Structure 1
């Protein structure tokens, strides 16, 4: 019996994801590593690669990787990494490369909620920068001067 040869696209995407993780963690001296990769299919039949980040502060490392690391989009349909909270008890970094979904994830720590991150994001987005005019104030000033 012969074993099927691995799909070269899956292999290339896995290698790219591993290298991106290693560049990020080594450049910042972060000890988090990735577990063995699992290959699955999404409900629509698209291939998916999954690995869990482990090690000290793996959750913070994954969050920093998702928010700060730039991965070049070289193929049509590639997407930037983003957070995925759709699976309860898991925080994931998800992106698409060469038609393959890549998911790096960590189990949520007990007592650590996503709400503080979302609340901080809302606070930042609720305050426009000094360069942005407050349209509400401008309209109020125009109404008073008329």
Structure 2
């Protein structure tokens, strides 16, 4: 029995993903790393790769859009291809998942936490010079006698 990592369909899917990544990411610093191949619960091959670099979210968006156009043009007659979908089922990561010639391909990145912000203090109430500023006739006026 062939190991999932060496299965010809998995190798072809990985090669196609790397080729499309290089074609769509010409000026990006992000890379595909941490490749894994396994069998999914339904018995199909599942190839995963992690995006690393300064802006993995933008790279994933651009790459998934390119994959969607590529797969929609090349869709084979056997129905073995599926367009990319966004997968948020795993906490702390965002992935794009599609099927290419019957092999599930998943490209993902860790969700980056927003920069922590300093808590702001509620403004303290200002003490006015007493109640006089809010009430009418607060100042006594001297009546001059005539």
- TM-score after normalising by structure 2: 0.67
Q: Which of 82, 97, 100 is the equivalent residue of 2:100?
A: 97
The alignment of Structure 1 onto Structure 2 pairs a total of residues equal to 108
Q: Which residue of 2 aligns with 1:53?
A: 51
Distance 2:19 2:50 in 1: 15
Shift in Å at residue 48 of structure 1? Answer: 0.1
Partner of residue 126, structure 1: none
Supply the distance in 2 between the matched residues of 1:7 and 1:111 (Cα, whole angstroms). 40
* Number of the residue aligned with 2:62: 64
Q: What's the C-alpha RMSD, in Å, of the aligned pairs?
A: 2.1
CA contact under 8 A between 1:67 and 1:82: conserved in structure 2? Answer: no
Answer 1 or 2: which has greater helix percent. 1
Question: Gapped runs of 5+ residues in structure 1?
Answer: 113-146
* Structure-to-structure mapping, 1:1-146, within 5 angstroms: 6-26=6-26, 29-69=27-67, 70-72=69-71, 73-75=74-76, 76=78, 77-111=80-114
Q: Please report the TM-score for the alignment, with normalisation by the length of structure 1.
A: 0.67
